[in-house]
Amino acid sequence: MELVREISVEEALKKGYRFIDTRTAEEFSEFHIPGAYNVPLFTSEERKEVSKVYYERGEKEARLYALELVGPKLYLIVRKVKEIKEKEGKVVVYCWRGGLRSLAVAAICTLAGVNVPRLIGGYRAFRQYIMERMAEILKNKKLVVLYGPTGCGKTRIIRILREKGYPVIDLEELAGHRGSVFGGIGLQQPSQKMFDALLWQELERLKDSPCILVEGESRKIGKLFIPEPFWEAMQKGEKIYIELPLKERVCISMEDYGVDKFPPEVYLEALSRIKKILGDEKYREIKKFIEERKYPEAVSELMVNYYDKLYARSTPPEAKPFYVKSFDEAVSTVESYLISVCG
């Protein structure tokens, strides 16, 4: 009889197991299974020390040294796992590849009477599963992709319709970025693996919806890439283009980007990245507006001379256009279109 029971990713998800990540706090912070708890076997420094012993003195010595490090804290680890299990009911432990860390935690817990299985293949198996699962969910799913120049309030529309109960995925929210050269100001992006996991979680939430509304993005959002299955579904989806008058777009952008909440230097640093595209004369003009805190003028010039040209090139020609006079009209227009497409 095996001391530690093992279960697959699919079984764990279908049966509602909660996950316990045994990797270091730093590894967990970078990426983890959404909703997982972190009960690390080692600290980052301890893990480095064990690896050093492994490469210098071999596997047996490394295991003995690892036991020396974790021995004094085994009781605390078991107690924490026990508390989580009592709270959640069913739990499963995992590490990066279903290796020694999750095996050690599962084994010591089981010996102490806290029976917990470990995840076959660890996080790596989970990642492979969710990438395949994304493609499976999207196979027969219709995406409605919302395009429009900067300041049309696309993200606002997405979030308002989500609050109304429509099937919506907010890519910029998941990516921690507004999708432009100024889009990272005041925000922090997750790792690519974490972004993919959060997107999969949203797809699972909407797996029974006939369609999903998303905002039109480039393949790259800040430093992150939209996963291939989702990107392909966006290219095949229904496309709608919404546009508001420039004056209203400037007001919306000022609010959405939190303009004037940061010192001019923050905006000037972002502006410098598109200096060549703007040209020296226009760059100096916008730079002066920012330095003088004339932000509405700066935003208006950026829209006309940079963003609108950029969106004109990236907006699919087949996108159905709607030219509206106000933001409220934009919301109702997209809502009506979504109802007509999704039924």
* Statement: residue 185 has pLDDT above 60: no
Sign of CA dihedral 333, 219, 233, 141: negative
| One domain for residues 112 and 173 | no
Per-residue pLDDT, averaged over 90-113, amounts to 94
Burial class (CB in 10 A: 0-12, 13-18, 19+), 56: exposed
- Which of 84, 99, 129 terminates a domain? The answer is 129
- Which of 129, 160, 189 terminates a domain? The answer is 129
* Statement: residue 210 has pLDDT above 70: yes
**Would 135 be classed as within a structural domain?**
no
Kindly report the backbone phi and psi dihedral angles of residue 311, in degrees, each rounded to the nearest multiple of 5, phi listed first. -70, -30
More confident of the two residues 164 and 59: 164
pLDDT of 182 reads 53
pLDDT of 309 reads 84
Rounded to the nearest integer, the mean pLDDT of the chain is 91
**Would 31 be classed as within a structural domain?**
yes
| One domain for residues 202 and 278 | yes
More confident of the two residues 254 and 338: 338
| One domain for residues 147 and 277 | yes
| One domain for residues 185 and 315 | yes
pLDDT of 162 reads 96
| One domain for residues 34 and 158 | no
Instruction: Compute and round to an integer the Cα radius of gyration of the chain.
Output: 25
| One domain for residues 100 and 152 | no
Per-residue pLDDT, averaged over 281-305, amounts to 89
Distance, in Å, from the CA atom of 154 to the CA atom of 240, rounded to the nearest integer, reads: 11
- Catalytic residue numbers, as ranges: 95
| One domain for residues 85 and 181 | no
More confident of the two residues 262 and 160: 160
| One domain for residues 221 and 105 | no
**Would 1 be classed as within a structural domain?**
no
| One domain for residues 170 and 264 | yes
**Would 110 be classed as within a structural domain?**
yes
Give the CA angle between residues 222, 228, 233 to the nearest 5°. Answer: 105
| One domain for residues 120 and 164 | no
Q: Quote the number of domains for the chain.
A: 2
- Residue 1: band (very low, low, confident or very high) from pLDDT cuts 50, 70, 90: very low
* Statement: residue 181 has pLDDT above 70: no
Per-residue pLDDT of 221-259, as tens digits, reads 889 999 999 999 999 999 999 999 999 999 998 887 777
* Statement: residue 273 has pLDDT above 90: no
Per-residue pLDDT of 4-27, as tens digits, reads 999 999 999 999 999 999 999 999
**Would 153 be classed as within a structural domain?**
yes
Kindly report the backbone phi and psi dihedral angles of residue 225, in degrees, each rounded to the nearest multiple of 5, phi listed first. -110, 135
**Would 43 be classed as within a structural domain?**
yes
Question: Do the beta carbons of residue 4 and residue 103 sit within 8 Å?
Answer: yes
Question: Do the beta carbons of residue 342 and residue 210 sit within 8 Å?
Answer: yes
pLDDT of 146 reads 97
Kindly report the backbone phi and psi dihedral angles of residue 60, in degrees, each rounded to the nearest multiple of 5, phi listed first. -60, -45
Kindly report the backbone phi and psi dihedral angles of residue 133, in degrees, each rounded to the nearest multiple of 5, phi listed first. -65, -40
Question: Do the beta carbons of residue 200 and residue 111 sit within 8 Å?
Answer: no
- Which of 102, 129, 156 terminates a domain? The answer is 129
**Nearest by Cα to 252 from 319, 338, 177, 331:** 331
Domain limits for position 327: 140-342
Per-residue pLDDT, averaged over 142-164, amounts to 94
- Residue 320: band (very low, low, confident or very high) from pLDDT cuts 50, 70, 90: very high
- Residue 179: band (very low, low, confident or very high) from pLDDT cuts 50, 70, 90: low
**Would 209 be classed as within a structural domain?**
yes
Per-residue pLDDT, averaged over 249-274, amounts to 84
| One domain for residues 119 and 182 | no
Give the DSSP H/E element, type plus range, for residue 241.
strand 238-243
Range of weakest confidence among 59-73, 98-112, 228-242: 59-73
* Statement: residue 302 has pLDDT above 60: yes
Per-residue pLDDT, averaged over 107-129, amounts to 96
**Would 215 be classed as within a structural domain?**
yes
CATH code assigned at 15? 3.40.250.10
CATH code assigned at 171? 3.40.50
Return the percent helix, strand and coil in the chain, to nearest 5: 55, 10, 30
* Statement: residue 28 has pLDDT above 90: yes
| One domain for residues 331 and 259 | yes
pTM: 0.86
